[in-house]
Amino acid sequence: MFFHGQTVAAAKAEGKFSVKAILPENQASGVTYFDLQMAPEDKQTIKVELMNQGKEQITIKCVANTAVTNEMGYVDYSIPKAKTDKTLKYPFSDIVKASESEVTLKPNETKIWSLDINMPAESYDGIILGGLHFQEKKDEEKEKDTSKKEVQIKNEYAYVIGVKLTEKTTIVKPNLELNEIKPASRNYRNVVEINLQNTKATLVGGMAVDAKIYKDGSKKVLRESKRTDLSMAPNSNFNYSVDWENQELKPGKYKVELVAKTADDKWEWVKEFTISEEDAKKANKVALGLEKDYTWMYVTGGILLVFLVIATAYFIGKRARKKDEESQ
């Protein structure tokens, strides 16, 4: 479940169990997730009610994750031990400790799962953002036996409850930076990845991105990718991809023109990059369904045809002249 703008909500699913945030007195707003106003070095325990709604005993895995931006360009609260951005000073998962990582519930049983929060000693502008992820633990042996007997399609349900921690009411404006540009393969398709980074402790929501790629020295747009309604977690980065449309990546120099904007802010960049022969070969080798470029064959064939016509004309002319000379 992805959350946009300045909203962090609990994801709902129709599963065997339910979760409910037990909101504390220092809740900063009327939302259903944890939106807590705290101070430096504050310690607080938050609680979540877990209820088994099924007829069998289940075990629920409970994980506290740092909010990151996933490769699709959305804020994601469900990735455990996610690699964090170098500008993120206090990852949510580093300042919290869960009462337990798993909770076992009998049919119709309810239990309370808790999480201890220890705010950093240093005063903090902006927000610290995380998510509490709850998912049923599968019986691996049972799953293995079932998979041997028959192929089954199963739905797996998970809940996420957001946790937003603030110390001040100061509004922090986002700042985006464009970093590395490189060729890559995504889902067996050639792409060029453009790394976008939010260096501030604030959410970016409702973001539109337009990326144009040009061959060096050309004014013709070679590839373009437009997307809207993207979002970025505080102090995070992700690779915005431009699809190469089933074509082979070719070594050479290129240029990117990229515009990213929200309702309140706009960023623009122009940056040159190079696709090396090694990187192009590596990506092309992995990509599937590439449409081969036979232009060089057509050009070579055309040149050969011209030479053939000239040679034929020359020999025919030479032969005709020889006959004329003999007749005289």
58-113 pLDDT, tens digit per residue, is 999 999 999 999 999 999 999 999 999 999 999 999 999 999 999 999 999 999 99
How far apart are alpha carbons 124 and 89 in whole angstroms?
Answer: 10
DSSP state string for 207-260 = EEEEEEEEETT--SEEEEEEEEEEEE-TTEEEEEEEE-TTBPP--EEEEEEEEE
Kindly report, residue by residue over 274-304, the tens digit of the pLDDT: 999 999 999 999 888 665 554 545 456 667 7
Nearest residue to 14 (alpha-carbon basis) of 185, 121, 152, 155: 155
Stated pTM of the model: 0.80
Backbone angles phi, psi at 2, to 5 degrees: -115, 145
Q: Which pLDDT band holds residue 13 (cuts at 50, 70, 90)?
A: very low
Per cent of the chain over pLDDT 70 is 80
Q: Which residue has the higher pLDDT, 250 or 141?
A: 250
Which has more confidence, 307 or 238? Answer: 238
Scanning the chain, the segments in alpha helix (DSSP H) are 140-149, 277-286, 295-327
Classify the C-alpha dihedral 249-251-255-258 as positive or negative: positive
* CA separation, residue 309 to residues 123, 295, 300, 312, 315 (Å): 82, 21, 14, 5, 10
Measured distance CA(197)–CA(73) in Å, rounded = 11
**CA trace torsion 20, 62, 198, 181 (10° rounding):** -140
Rounded Cα gap, residues 41 and 64, in angstroms: 19
Give the CATH fold of the 17-166 domain: Immunoglobulin-like (2.60.40)
Would you identify the CATH topology of the domain 176-286? Immunoglobulin-like (2.60.40)
